[in-house]
Amino acid sequence: MRIYAIGDLHLPGHAQKPMNVFGSQWDRHFELITQNWRERLDDDDVVLIPGDISWAMHLDDALDDLNAIARLPGSKILLRGNHDYWWSSAAKVRAVLPPGMHLIQNDALRLENQVFCGSRGWMLPTPQQALTPEDEKILARECLRLRLSLQAAMRLMDGQTQLNVMTHYPPLLSDGADTPLTEVLREYPVCRVVYGHLHGAGIKGAFQGEREGISYHLTSCDALGFCPKCILA
């Protein structure tokens, strides 16, 4: 079982929102993702999708997008992003997910010797801009949700397993400085973290590589050239 990741698919969800308003590289982007996906992945593989899956506002309108993803090879594990307004509750989404699709929300999942968990995350304070009091509350809540998911993951762990975390927002920035999210992550035996959210010039703000024994991967689809990234062969 190999693990791949690709986030921020931004499928239309009946919204008819053209992604090429963000640049010509987005022209027919899901066709390119589909081609690259089929060329590289097998049904035994796992694909992590850390949020911003569909522009749909309601779950019914996201079903075509979920089914399109489901038809691609591999098992898929979904995390909610900041634009996934259709994701009303975990129970409702799970009730309509196609076979081979899973989601993470305050819990964890084990597939073979790999355990998966995570939380959406939130904006991080920077030296240039502090968070508003409301954003500080949201970030604290996301740290709690991440901890809940990690605690659920630990109940699935044994001596043969590895721990994988998904966030939507980056859990740290390009300088690699500590954040409230990394403070939570370091308390657990995390092997790798995948995240998305960053696009265009914002990609420069991503931290990628190893920090304190954890490997971090930016996986927003345009940052990957619209090709799923193998994070464990």
- At residue 22, the pLDDT reads 63
Encode 37-73: b = buried (16+ Cβ within 10 Å), e = exposed.
beebbeeebbbbbbbbbbbbeebebbbebbebbeebb
CA triple 169-94-99, angle to 5 deg: 105
Cα separation, 54 vs 189, whole angstroms = 32
**Structural tokens at position 117:** 């968990």
- At residue 18, the pLDDT reads 65
- At residue 64, the pLDDT reads 94
| Residue-level pLDDT, tens digit, the chain, 233 residues | 999 999 999 999 876 676 665 666 788 899 999 999 999 999 999 999 999 999 999 999 999 999 999 999 999 999 999 999 999 999 999 999 999 999 999 999 999 999 999 999 999 998 888 999 999 999 999 999 999 999 999 999 999 999 999 999 999 999 999 999 999 999 999 999 999 999 988 898 899 999 999 999 999 999 999 999 999 99
- At residue 202, the pLDDT reads 86
- At residue 6, the pLDDT reads 98
Cα separation, 50 vs 202, whole angstroms = 17
- At residue 20, the pLDDT reads 61
Cα separation, 57 vs 83, whole angstroms = 9
Pairing outcome for strands 229-232 and 3-5? antiparallel
